[in-house]
C-alpha cells in the first residue's frame, strides 16, 4: 500500500509518498490557503513518483485544514515514528521548526515531550530575524559558525532583546562569525533547558529545517555533551512518520479518524 504523509508546518509543507521506503517527496512554502498548499505539495510528490497514494495522513499545525486526508495525527507522534524509522536507536528527538521547537522522549512511540510554541526563541524564526539584523542569508549561518574563533555571549533568548544585543555587537565591530556562533549557542541553551525536563537519552536525532544548520548541531552537541544524529533530509521526518502511522492504521482496517 502506498501512503502519503503530508506535514503542513508554519513555514513549509512537506509530502512523502511511502511504501516500504520513501518513493518520492516534495517541499514547498506554505501559503495562506493551507488546503491548496497541501494539495499542491501532494500533487508534486505524485508527479515525481508517477503513482498516487491509496491512503493519506496529515500532520503539522495545519493538519485540520487538509480535508482530503483519511487520518490526522499530531506532529509529536509523527516526528517520533519518523525519526525512529530512520535511526532505530533513537531515544530522543529534537525538532526545531519555523515557529516552534520540541524535545520528544521516544520508546515504542512517544513517552514524553516538551514544546515551545509561545515564543520565537529556539526556532527558525529566531534565526531569520537575526540573519536579517546581520544582513546575511539565513542559509549561510552554518558556514559562518565554522569560521568563529570566539563566540560572543548572547545573554537573552528573547528574540527582541537578542536582536538588540546583535545590533550592539555590530556597532562594537565584533566579527559576524562570532555573533552567529553566539546565537547558535543561545538556541542550544534554550533547547537544553527544555531537554532537562524530559530526561534526554541517546541516541538523539535532530529534525526540522533548522537541523540543516551545522552551527546549531555543533552548539547542541557541545552544551548537551552528546552526539547528535541528523537525517539526510531532516525536513521530511514528520511526513515520513505520518505515512508510517497511516500505513499501520490502514493495515488494521481503520478508515478515517483524527488523534
Residue 128 has pLDDT above 80, yes or no: yes
Q: Is 90 exposed, middle or buried (0-12, 13-18, 19+ CB in 10 A)?
A: buried
Sole residue written with cell 490557503:
33
Which CATH number is correct for 1-87+235-259, 3.40.50.300, 3.30.420.40, 3.40.50.970, 3.40.50.360? 3.30.420.40
Count of other CB atoms within 10 angstroms of residue 33: 11
8 Å CB contact between 56 and 15: no
Residue 253's pLDDT is 65
What pLDDT is recorded for position 250? Answer: 85
- The confidence score (pLDDT) of residue 254 equals 54
The answer to whether domain 90-230 has CATH 3.40.50.150 is no
Q: Which pLDDT value is given to residue 256? A: 45
Structure-derived torsion over alpha carbons of residues 110, 114, 120, 122, reported in degrees to the nearest 10:
-90
Confirm whether 1-87+235-259 and 90-230 share one CATH topology: yes
Domain boundaries, the chain: 1-87+235-259, 90-230
Torsion of CA 194, 62, 213, 4, to 10 degrees: 110
Q: Output the CA–CA distances (angstroms, integers) from residue 243 to 6, 219, 256, in the order listed.
A: 8, 31, 14
Phi then psi for residue 22, to 5 deg, are -70, 125
* Alpha carbons 26 and 6: distance in angstroms, whole number: 10
pLDDT digits 0-9 by tens, 88-111: 999 999 999 988 999 999 988 899
| Mean pLDDT score across all residues of the chain | 94
Amino acid at each position: 500500500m502506498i501512503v502519503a504523509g503530508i506535514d503542513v508546518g508554519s513555514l513549509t509543507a512537506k509530502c512523502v509518498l511511502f511504501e516500504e521506503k520513501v518513493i518520492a517527496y516534495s517541499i514547498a512554502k506554505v501559503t495562506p490557503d493551507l488546503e491548496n498548499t497541501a494539495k499542491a505539495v501532494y500533487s508534486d510528490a505524485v508527479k515525481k513518483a508517477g503513482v498516487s497514494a491509496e491512503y493519506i495522513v496529515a500532520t503539522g499545525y495545519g493538519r485540520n485544514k487538509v480535508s482530503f486526508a483519511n487520518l490526522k495525527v499530531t506532529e509529536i507522534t509523527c516526528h517520533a515514528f519518523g525519526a525512529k524509522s530512520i535511526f532505530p536507536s533513537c531515544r530522543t528527538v529534537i525538532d526545531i521548526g519555523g515557529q516552534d521547537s520540541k524535545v520528544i522522549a521516544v520508546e515504542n512511540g512517544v513517552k514524553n515531550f516538551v514544546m515551545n510554541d509561545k515564543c520565537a526563541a529556539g526556532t527558525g524564526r529566531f534565526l531569520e530575524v537575526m540573519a536579517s539584523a546581520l544582513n546575511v542569508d539565513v542559509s549561510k549561518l552554518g558556514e559562518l559558525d565554522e569560521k568563529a574563533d570566539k563566540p560572543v555571549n548572547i545573554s537573552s533568548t528573547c528574540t527582541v532583546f537578542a536582536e538588540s544585543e546583535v545590533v550592539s555587537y555590530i556597532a562594537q565591530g565584533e566579527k559576524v562569525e562570532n555573533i552567529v556562533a553566539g546565537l547558535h549557542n543561545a538556541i542550544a541553551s534554550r533547547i537544553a533547558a527544555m531537554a532537562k525536563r524530559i530526561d534526554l537519552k541517546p541516541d538523539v536525532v535532530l529534525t526540522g529545517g533548522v537541523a540543516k544548520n551545522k552551527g546549531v548541531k555543533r552548539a547542541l552537541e557541545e552544551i548537551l555533551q552528546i552526539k547528535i544524529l541528523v537525517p539526510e533530509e531532516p525536513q521530511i521526518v514528520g511526513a515520513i512518520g505520518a505515512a508510517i502511522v497511516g500505513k499501520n492504521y490502514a493495515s488494521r482496517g481503520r478508515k478515517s479518524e483524527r488523534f
